[in-house]
Amino acid sequence: MPEQFVSAPLRRRAVQATLAATINIQSIMMEKTWRWFGKKDKITLSMLRQIGVEGIVTALHDVPNGEIWTVEAINDLKQYIESYGMRWSVVESLPVCEAIKYAGPERDQLIENYKVSLANLGKCGVKTVCYNFMPVIDWVRTDLQHPWPDGSSSLYYDRVRFAYFDTRILQREGAEKDYTEEELRKVAELDKVITEAEKDELVDAIIVKTQGFVNGNIREGDKNPVAIFKRLLSLYDGIDRDALRENMRYFLSAIMPVCEEYGVNMCVHPDDPPFQILGLPRIVTNEEDIDWFLRAVDNPHNGLTFCAGSLSAGEHNDTRELAKKFAKRTHFVHLRSTAAMPGGNFIESSHLSGRGHLIDLIRIFEQENPGLPMRVDHGRMMLGDEDKGYNAGYSFHGRMFALAQVEGMMAVVEDELKRGVTL
């Protein structure tokens, strides 16, 4: 390939490989990527190039779930990204339709469409696909701008407020059984003081603003989103943990031949938060879950998106131990961290603190599976981000700040590797 057509990240990796060979470094540092929501994203590729982003994580957001991604559409976006000196590193995501998850009658046709899209991505040289197998609802937070003393804000999960949404707004049958007497007492107290505006904000946070741009099940502007959400939940009546596991195994078994033919790596995102909610089975929550789906379809193209934030939100998980065990089957890394609080609450913490232990994770991955694409995730709202209309959790200044923090950690680890320091 003529040099003028070689993307900047590829040239960078060639230089790094030469340097590594010269000074006997055992790894090439993680690729710095950024989740970008396409040409309509208020954060432009020119902005990202200026802050050192090397790879883009994106999707064909205009294609409805279940429809085929064409070679023409993939190449159009890929070439657009490359025109800014970056590469399309990871697809996040090629959505897995609900009917695949609950095994609806259209499942097999949807899987066939999925296989064609995967093949087309592989033909175009886009080889890593992050997806999730969470029923109905993706990541869950009750407050999208929880304030910090310094004036910035983070995403926050309040278990009592979520219980209020579940029992009093959604009015899910049998929901009370999922909460303690103390939690239900606090729900009753909250009901006495919560305003209608606060109820609307809770609905927006849980099922509208965090879901519309992620999975398309519910979008801003939909009338009566609660009713839509309840209909989606009803699709999973009778689907328990074992059934959902079997449906995941069925899906992965069906697509693996295509992944092998075109060299495409699938990497599932852990459930966020990593515990059961809304009576739905969640099956990627801990070590046992991850071990199960990797063994169920034991193929190197069946792998993990290691999201330190999602995993660290469960006090049962130690991100460092999980990274050591599953590094070889990890294809993509999300570096963020959470701080757990009493009562089951958690907040997106600084990337330098919390239960994510990010510098330790960088050390582990650079020794066990070097050079993986990495993106910072769920940055704070800061320095005017709140007025820019960014997607919830995807601010510019907050993520740029987080990227700088992670770059500092990567520099420390790179220096350790040069000096022969190991775990």
115-169 residue pLDDT tens: 999 999 999 999 999 999 999 998 999 999 999 999 999 999 999 999 999 999 9
Structural domain count, the chain = 2
Same domain, 212 and 260: no
307-331 burial, b at 16+ Cβ within 10 Å, e below that, comes to bbbbbbbbeebebbebbbebbebbb
Same domain, 305 and 358: yes
Same domain, 292 and 229: no
* Domain span holding position 265: 3-136+239-418
Q: What is the pTM of this model?
A: 0.91
Is the residue at 189 inside a domain?
yes
User: Is there a single domain that holds both residue 96 and residue 167?
Assistant: no
The answer on 229 and 291 residing in a single domain is no
Residue 218 has pLDDT above 70, yes or no: no
Tens digits of per-residue pLDDT, 403-419?
999 999 999 999 999 99
- Residue 210 is predicted with a pLDDT of 74
Q: Which residues are tagged catalytic?
A: 269, 307, 334, 377-378, 394
Q: Is residue 144 part of a domain?
A: no
Backbone angles phi, psi at 256, to 5 degrees: -60, -40
Is there a single domain that holds both residue 298 and residue 400?
Answer: yes
Together in a domain, 281 and 211: no
The region of weakest confidence among 24-33, 99-108, 109-118, 131-140 is: 24-33
* Residue 150 included in any domain: no
Instruction: Tell me, yes or no, whether 16 lies in a domain.
Output: yes
pLDDT at 24: 39
For residue 356, what pLDDT is reported? 95
Q: What's the mean pLDDT when you consider all of the chain?
A: 91
Residues 412 and 268 in one domain: yes
Which among 296, 304, 259 is positioned nearest to 132, based on CA atoms? 304
Is 149 within a domain? no
Based on the fold, state whether residues 344 and 260 are members of the same structural domain: yes
User: For residue 105, is the peptide bond before it cis, meaning its omega torsion is within 30 degrees of 0?
Assistant: no
